[in-house]
Amino acid sequence: MRIRHIAIFSAAVLAGALAGSLVGPRPAEAVARELIELQRDVTSLLQGQKDLSTQVTQDNTVMKTLIGQSGDNVNKLTATMGSLQKSVQDVQANSGARLDTMSTQVQGLSDNLEEIKSRLGKLNQQLVDLQNTVQSLDAKISGAGAPAPATGLATPTSSTGTTKPISSAPPAGAPSADTLYSNGLRDITTGKYDLARSEFEDYLKFYADTDLASNAQFYLGEIFYKQKQYVDAVAAYDKVLTNYPKSFKLGPARLRKGMALLELGQKTPGVRELREVIKRFPGSDEDRLARAKLKELGVAVTATR
């Protein structure tokens, strides 16, 4: 637009000069001077046009460079977003397996603590029995008769709530209860599910009345669940709930039973089990996981009437 104005102005100046020369005669000196000034003006205008054209070309070059750089940045950002999205998808795909492994390891630690508590209870009872024996011997020696047995410590009970003997000898040739249980726990945490299942089944076969029998039964359910044998998993968890009403695995067993039912496509009974977890074990980890699963399913925590 500016070049066009300059051209129009130049034409007007040139026309004016010619018209002036045609209107009347002028001295040759004046005409020559005007022609020289006109030539100078035209030259100046042409130079300005050239400078303007150069500036426009440079501006276009700069704009092209900036646009190219912006395009490169957008492409890099797109590639970065693609990589980030893939990373997020990978994390989501692997998080379930990692959480599953961590959950099993935590349960293993809890079981070890429970086993320690059980052994402490046995030691306490043995101390009570030893104290009673010593008092009885003292009484016989002194001729005062046998004193009343020491009290204050409860007789250990099994996971079923029934009184069990302080110790029982395992069948001939069978591994000890500690060996079977420890091996089963180790093998399930390392992914050797078939071997762990065999060890826990043997534990239940030989030591069904011990404190950790309900744990062994629960881990059978876990093995079936991890192997996607959900029908067997539901049956194993049901045995925990039915056969061991005082087990500390009741919450986990009911939660996992609900999850297994959902995997089988049985949404209604699965949701019912999760709601029972929330009702029976408020504030527990199982309560939190059940609520999260119900939210994922878009189901209310409590049934509406």
Per-residue pLDDT tens for 93-102?
A: 565 555 565 6
Which one-letter DSSP state was computed for residue 281? S
| pLDDT tens, residue by residue, 257-271 | 999 999 999 999 999
Q: What is the pLDDT of residues 120-143, one digit of tens each?
A: 656 655 665 565 565 555 455 444
Specify the higher pLDDT residue, 103 or 243.
243
User: Residue 85: is its pLDDT beyond 80?
Assistant: no
How many Å apart are CA 50 and CA 45, to the nearest integer?
Answer: 9
Is the pLDDT score of 152 beyond 70?
no
- Mean pLDDT calculated for residue range 277-297: 96
Beta strand ranges found along the chain (DSSP E): none
Report d(CA 294, CA 140) in Å as an integer. 67
Higher local confidence (pLDDT), 147 or 198: 198
- Predicted pLDDT of residue 286: 96
Ramachandran class of 269: left when φ > 0, alpha when ψ lies in -120 to 50, beta otherwise: alpha
Task: Name the band, by pLDDT with cuts 50, 70 and 90, for residue 154.
Answer: very low
Dihedral sign from CA coordinates of 223, 225, 226, 229: positive
Residue 38 has pLDDT above 70, yes or no: yes
- Is the Cα dihedral 237, 243, 246, 248 positive or negative? negative
The pLDDT of 104-129, averaged and rounded, is: 61
Residue with tokens 């949404």: 267
Q: Identify which of 134-148, 263-277, 291-305 has the greatest average pLDDT.
A: 263-277
Q: Is 153 helix (H, G, I), strand (E, B) or coil?
A: coil
pLDDT at residue 81, as a whole number:
73
137-143-146 Cα angle (round to 5): 50
Higher pLDDT, 294 or 54: 294
Q: What is the mean pLDDT of residues 11-32?
A: 58
- Give me the percent of the chain exceeding a pLDDT of 70: 62
From residue 51, how far is each of 7, 40, 55, 268, 271 by CA, in Å? 14, 16, 6, 81, 79
Cα(286)–Cα(273) distance, rounded to whole angstroms?
A: 11
For residue 284, pLDDT over 70 is answered with yes
CB half-sphere exposure, 106, CA atoms < 13 A: 9
**Separation between Cα atoms, residue 59 and residue 256, nearest integer Å:** 69
User: What confidence tier does 148 reach under pLDDT thresholds 50, 70, 90?
Assistant: very low
